[in-house]
Structure formats: structure tokens, C-alpha cells
């Protein structure tokens, strides 16, 4: 495979001139420019991008850390990141972690070794302290509220979102409310839990731990929840469901097992995925695509030096009333 020196030799110019031509810099005589392009074509030359990366000290790749690719919540975010990245000539390196700290660390290491110019963390298990150790290696954007930790972020106000759902249910007369969540740890989950408890406190009601369903991620988990509900003596009358997928599962498996929504169980879910519309589920719209886009924009602002301080952006949510309450 030809390299830039061979091109230089064949074109009768220096490597510097070749580089200038290849990168469309000014100050090259037209004849030399021609000669270089001719040589490039003759030798079927292509840059070795790894040499470029080494020389430039950057790769135009940003890493995306997320637990699962195959989940609408995360692939929406990735979609958003991807769209913006494309517009700016960046590529995406995917790190599917399954919430494994070891894998998260490996991904972070990619920032140190300059495999990626920056990192967007869609969700994580690793601690903020640990993350901070990597801040000096390049920009990191978190998709969660980073209040109190001095890191950049774009986030959805999950407290507000849950509060919105809770108050809606309460206004509709519900008092026995539970919720379904993907996991109980993590900033986003903790914010939601706080809203849940605060909302209940507002109506002088104590939370019931058995009405909190953990590990609810996909449709099939809805079936599990339905089963659990059916075997309960004292059931909640309403559920906040942190994913439209799970909500869909609850509605559909509920139908088959005699747990009708909203007759026997009211549901407010989150995401506003098309499935919620199709099932008439009242949901809180979460701007996931925008969050991905914004995340890239923030990181890009760091690259172009537009931003040097930590940025924190909060995206608005809104409740979409349908027929599941």
C-alpha cells in the first residue's frame, strides 16, 4: 500500500506539499496540485487514518456507553447522538456494558488511550468519583442530573416526570400507587423514587415497598408484574411504569389475565413510544432523541473550545393524556 512518501516521490514534490494538497490547503501551485492528484490516482493511494489520528492526536470518534443497545429507550438516545455526530463528521463507538462496572471502566479507558475524543454515558453503574478520574482525558457527558458532582450533562428531569405522573394519578383519586422501574440504583431511578415518596407524603400516605417492581425493562416484564399483582391481597390501584414497553406488557398480559387497564389498574408510563399511543396509554413524553442530540452538541462544544466549563442542560417533559387512567 502506497504511502505519502511514495506519492511525493512520484509527483516530484515533498511530503509536506502532498499533505497540503490532500488536505486542501492553499499555497500550492496548480501544477503540483495536479501532479499530486495524478500520483494519488496512479498508486491508488489512501491515507492511513491511524497515522492521521496519531499525528493529530484525535480520532473524531466519540464513545457511547450504554447498558443495552437493544432497548428502545437507549436506541432512541443513540439515534439522536448518531444524527448529530453524522452532521459533524464524527463516528460512534459503542460500548454495551450491561451495567458491568468492569466494562464501563474499559470504555472509560478508551478515553485515556485516545481511542475516542469524548464519551457520552447514557447510563452507568460506576461512581461519579471514578468517572471524574477520567475527566482530564477528554470531555464526558452524562445523561443524568449531575447536580453536586461537577460534570457536564443533559438530562431529563425524572423527578418532575414522576411527580407529574403521581399528581395526575392522585388528582384522579388514586391513593394506592406503586411503580415499575428498570433498576433501583442510579441517579435517574433515585430521582424518580424521591418524587414517588414526596408525592405520597404530600397526601400523607406511606409508600408500600411491595408495590415497587424492580427490573422492569421489557414487555415480558409486564407479564411478571401482572402475575405478581394478581397474587396480591392488597393491590395498588395505579402504577407508574418507567417504560412504555413494560406498560404495554402490563396492559396486554393484564387483558389476558383479567386485570383490566384502567378498570382494575390505572397506568401512567414514560417515554411516549409509539406503542403507548397504539395502546392508548397515558404517558409522560421523554425527549430521548433530543437528549442524544444535545449530548453530542455539548461534547462538540467542548471540542471546538466553545465551552470550557461544565454544562448542565435539563430537558422538559410533558404528560400525554390517553386512556389508561
Pattern 31-50, DNA, x by CB under 7 A: xx------------x-xx--
Residue 53 binds its own copies (CB under 8 A): yes
Q: Is 14 in the site for DNA (CB under 7 A)?
A: yes
Exactly one of 10, 23, 98, 301 binds DNA (CB under 7 A); that residue is: 23
Compute the half-sphere exposure of residue 269: CA atoms within 13 Å on the CB side of its CA: 35
* Shortest distance in whole angstroms from residue 24 CB to DNA: 10
| Candidate ranges 10-18, 219-227, 262-270, 300-308; the one touching DNA (CB under 7 A) | 10-18
In the region spanning residues 221 to 240, those forming contacts with its own copies, defined by CB under 8 A, are 222-223
CB atoms within 10 A of CB 226: 23
CB of 303 to DNA, least distance (A): 14
Query: What are the residues facing 177 on neighbouring strands?
Result: 238
Q: Which does 29 bind (CB under 5 to 8 A by kind): its own copies, DNA, none?
A: DNA
Nearer to DNA, 26 or 258 (CB): 26
Place of cell 487514518: 49
Binding window for DNA (CB under 7 A); candidates: 28-36, 71-79, 200-208, 291-299? 28-36
Judge whether 283 and 268 are in contact, CB under 8 Å. yes
Beta strands in the chain (DSSP E): 61-66, 91-96, 118-121, 140-142, 152-156, 177-180, 212-213, 238-241, 266-271, 282-285, 312-315, 318-320
- 32-40, 119-127, 160-168, 245-253 -> range binding its own copies (CB under 8 A): 245-253
Member of 25, 203, 278, 318 binding its own copies (CB under 8 A):
278
Mark the segment that binds its own copies (CB under 8 A) among 23-31, 79-87, 198-206, 302-310: 79-87
Enter the DSSP assignment of 157: -
Q: How far is the CB of 122 from its own copies (least distance, A)?
A: 12
Distance of closest approach, residue 35 Cβ to DNA, in angstroms: 10
Using DSSP's 3-state secondary structure scheme, residue 70 falls into: coil
Strands (E), 25-150: 61-66, 91-96, 118-121, 140-142
Q: Rounded to whole angstroms, how far apart are CA atoms 269 and 173?
A: 17
* Residue closest to 200 by CA, chosen among 183, 185, 212, 214: 212
For residue 241, the cross-strand partners are 180, 269
Closest-CA residue to 120 (of 129, 108, 128): 108
CA nearest neighbour of 124 among 148, 141, 147: 141
Binds its own copies by CB under 8 A, chosen from 82, 123, 153, 188? 82
User: Given candidates 12, 16, 38, 48, which one binds its own copies under the rule CB under 8 A?
Assistant: 48
Q: Which residues contact 70 (CB under 8 A, 6 or more apart)?
A: none
| 24 near DNA (CB under 7 A) | no
Q: How far is the CB of 82 from its own copies (least distance, A)?
A: 5
List residues binding DNA (CB under 7 A). 1, 3-5, 12-20, 22-23, 26-29, 31-32, 45, 47-48, 51-52, 54-57
Amino acid at each position: 500500500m502506497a504511502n505519502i512518501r511514495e506519492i511525493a516521490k512520484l509527483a516530484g514534490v515533498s511530503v509536506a506539499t502532498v499533505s497540503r494538497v490532500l488536505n486542501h490547503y492553499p499555497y500550492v501551485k496548480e501544477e503540483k496540485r495536479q501532479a499530486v492528484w495524478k500520483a494519488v490516482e496512479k498508486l491508488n493511494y489512501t491515507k492511513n487514518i491511524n497515522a492521521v489520528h496519531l499525528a493529530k492526536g484525535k480520532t473524531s470518534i466519540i464513545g457511547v456507553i450504554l447498558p443495552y443497545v437493544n432497548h428502545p429507550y437507549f436506541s432512541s438516545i443513540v439515534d439522536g447522538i448518531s444524527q448529530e455526530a453524522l452532521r459533524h463528521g464524527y463516528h460512534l463507538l459503542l460500548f454495551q456494558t450491561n451495567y458491568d462496572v468492569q466494562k464501563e471502566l474499559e470504555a472509560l479507558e478508551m478515553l485515556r488511550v485516545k481511542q475516542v475524543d469524548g464519551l457520552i454515558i447514557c447510563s452507568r453503574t460506576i461512581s461519579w468519583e471514578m468517572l471524574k478520574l477520567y475527566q482530564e482525558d477528554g470531555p464526558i457527558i452524562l445523561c443524568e442530573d449531575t447536580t453536586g458532582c461537577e460534570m457536564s450533562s443533559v438530562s431529563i428531569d425524572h423527578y418532575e416526570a414522576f411527580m407529574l405522573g403521581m399528581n395526575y394519578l392522585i388528582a384522579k383519586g388514586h391513593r394506592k400507587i406503586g411503580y415499575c422501574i428498570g433498576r433501583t440504583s442510579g441517579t435517574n431511578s433515585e430521582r424518580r423514587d424521591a418524587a414517588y415518596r414526596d408525592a405520597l407524603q404530600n397526601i400523607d400516605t406511606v409508600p408500600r415497598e411491595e408495590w415497587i417492581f424492580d427490573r422492569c425493562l421489557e414487555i415480558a416484564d409486564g407479564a411478571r408484574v401482572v402475575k405478581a399483582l394478581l397474587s396480591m391481597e392488597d393491590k395498588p390501584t395505579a402504577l407508574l411504569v418507567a417504560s412504555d414497553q413494560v406498560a404495554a406488557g402490563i396492559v396486554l398480559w393484564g387483558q389476558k389475565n383479567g386485570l383490566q387497564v384502567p378498570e382494575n389498574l390505572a397506568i401512567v408510563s414514560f417515554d411516549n413510544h409509539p406503542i403507548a399511543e397504539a395502546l392508548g396509554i397515558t404517558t409522560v413524553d421523554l425527549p430521548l432523541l433530543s437528549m442524544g442530540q444535545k449530548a453530542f452538541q455539548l461534547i462538540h462544544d467542548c471540542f471546538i473550545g466553545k465551552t470550557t466549563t461544565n454544562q448542565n442542560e435539563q430537558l422538559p417533559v410533558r404528560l400525554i393524556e390517553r386512556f389508561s387512567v
